[in-house]
Amino acid sequence: MTQQGAVLQGYNNELVKCIEDLSMQREELNKQIQQAEEERNKLQHEIQVLSEQLECVCENLAQKVASRNELDKILAETEAAYMKILDSSRTLLNVLKKEVGSLRHSPDLKPN
């Protein structure tokens, strides 16, 4: 019976060691889980911050694109108006030259 008690004690010691090993593995795994959760929370916060920054940049970009489009429109209208002024100036110059030419051939303006 003593031998059976010794065998039983050996089993018990092994069982206690296995339970302690499992507990240590659980503690290590729990530490890893906590670290992973902290990393996840940190990354989620960074994502939130970056998302907010991205939203601001997108809004700013949209405003700048709208301003540029408005400037493009104003510039196109101004250039078109300027081209009309140039065309009118050229027409006026041609008419003036023609009138001056007609006046030179007029008998009243001929020198004696």
Tens-digit pLDDT profile for residues 26-65: 999 999 999 999 999 999 999 999 999 999 999 999 999 9
Residues 6+ apart with CB under 8 A from 82: none
3-state SS class at 1: coil
Indicate the number of domains in the chain: 1
Give the Cα separation of 39 and 36 in Å (integer): 5
Give the Cα separation of 22 and 29 in Å (integer): 10
Query: Residue range 72-79: average pLDDT?
Result: 98
Is 85 within the bounds of a domain? no
Query: Residue range 18-28: average pLDDT?
Result: 98
pLDDT at 76: 98
Give the Cα separation of 80 and 98 in Å (integer): 27
pLDDT at 106: 73
pLDDT at 109: 59
Is 53 within the bounds of a domain? yes
Is 40 within the bounds of a domain? yes
- pLDDT more than 70, % of the chain: 95
Q: Which domain holds residue 16?
A: 1-71
Is the sign of the CA dihedral 78, 79, 82, 84 positive or negative?
A: negative
Is 102 within the bounds of a domain? no
pLDDT tens per residue across span 87-102? 999 999 999 999 988 8
Is 78 within the bounds of a domain? no
Residue 44, token pair as written in the block: 């989620």
Is the sign of the CA dihedral 60, 62, 65, 69 positive or negative?
A: negative
Give the Cα separation of 15 and 78 in Å (integer): 92
